[in-house]
Amino acid sequence: MKPLEQLVRPNIWSLAPYSSARDEYSGHEAHVFLDANESPYNTPMNRYPDPLQRELKELMASVKGIPANYTFLGNGSDEAIDLLYRCFCRPGVDNVVAIEPTYGMYRVCADINDVDYRPVLLDEHFQMQADKLLAACDDKTKLVWICSPNNPTGNDMNREEVLKVISKFQGIVVVDEAYSDFSRQRPLRFELPQHPNLVVLNTMSKAWASAAIRLGMAFASPDIIGLFNKVKYPYNINQLTQQQAMTALQARFDVEAWVQLILRERVQMMDAFRQLPICKEVFPSDANFFLTRVTDAQAIYNYLVEQGIIVRNRHRVQLCQNCLRITVGTRNENTELLSALRKFEV
């Protein structure tokens, strides 16, 4: 890895961050707060939330097995994705490399930040080759994006290939593990101490069943976390979200049970799909969804919409011609989808 100072945008490296009223006193027991122009009424919602979410991060650390100083919390993973561009990529100058197909936000954020986005096609098994990704990099490549299990394909990336990119690439490797709770692979976040150029993304939106509260995590070296903290909005995680996230993390055994239910239901759904006349192929999944190739994705998608059933049409995505992405729902929802598909006239 290049020294961090050479990777970070010069204006970000030298940035003096905003200092909030609550940042400036520390260590003392205080009980009169007349520093932030808050209202004295309507407690507790009158107070600004903790800008660094210390209590939530301590709980997150114990659940995720990653120290709090390796943790950034954002308004969804989307905030962390955007911050990576804003910290590392000079608009109009730098570029990033990503597996293709993958999660669409990496490209949208590149476009917003005027950063050249270089997709590298997966093979016919939706697997990545480290050498192909590395060959697409040059001295202006700041980030490599990998998603595992990958969206929309559903499969884990080959661990050896991911580790090869991390050890050979001189910049930052981002591995989005939004779906790792559903996979048998050991989460890559546990490898962080050995890899100072690794950033791992997690989210409360999938296995943790809390998409509404908008909470995403980035795990990385304290130096990288320090950059994110400098650039983020001071109060990026509101108090309601911090509270609700603590409630969810304290109920972690519910989450483990939900994951097991979803995995069992996924096996049954995939088996049932293979029996459908409209189904040509069901691709392997390590996530809470699967990709399937059907006879006519657009027609089937439209038909389902008319029945009030929404799946994700991936027909226009590279390597995904005539593919639908199916999220595993409750038993009843899955049954309703299957019986609608059995009635579809080819």
Ligand X SMILES: *Cc1c(COP(=O)(O)O)cnc(C)c1O
Residues that bind ligand X (CB under 6 A): 76-78, 103, 147, 151, 176, 178, 203, 205-206, 211, 216
Positions of E strands within 153-288: 172-176, 198-203, 216-219, 279-282
**Burial zone of 250 (CB within 10 Å; 0-12 exposed, 13-18 middle, 19+ buried):** exposed
Largest CA distance in the chain: 72
Shortest distance (Å) from residue 216 CB to ligand X: 4
Residue facing ligand X at closest CB distance: 76
203 or 221, CB closer to ligand X?
A: 203
Shortest distance (Å) from residue 251 CB to ligand X: 19
Shortest distance (Å) from residue 149 CB to ligand X: 8
95 or 150, CB closer to ligand X?
A: 150
The two structure tokens encoding residue 38: 């808050």
* Helices (H) then strands (E): counts for the chain: 13, 11
Cβ(161)–Cβ(129) below 8 Å: yes
Q: Residue 295: count other Cβ atoms within 10 Å of its Cβ.
A: 14
Shortest distance (Å) from residue 197 CB to ligand X: 20
207 or 341, CB closer to ligand X?
A: 207
130 or 287, CB closer to ligand X?
A: 287
3-state helix, strand, coil in the chain (%, to 5): 40, 15, 45
Shortest distance (Å) from residue 160 CB to ligand X: 21
Shortest distance (Å) from residue 47 CB to ligand X: 26
Q: In what order do the strands lie in the sheet with 198-203?
A: 71-74, 216-219, 198-203, 172-176, 141-147, 95-100, 116-121
Look up tokens 């989460």; give the residue: 187
HSE-CB at 227 with a 13 A cutoff on CA atoms is: 25
102 or 141, CB closer to ligand X?
A: 102
8 or 178, CB closer to ligand X?
A: 178
Shortest distance (Å) from residue 30 CB to ligand X: 34
22 or 103, CB closer to ligand X?
A: 103
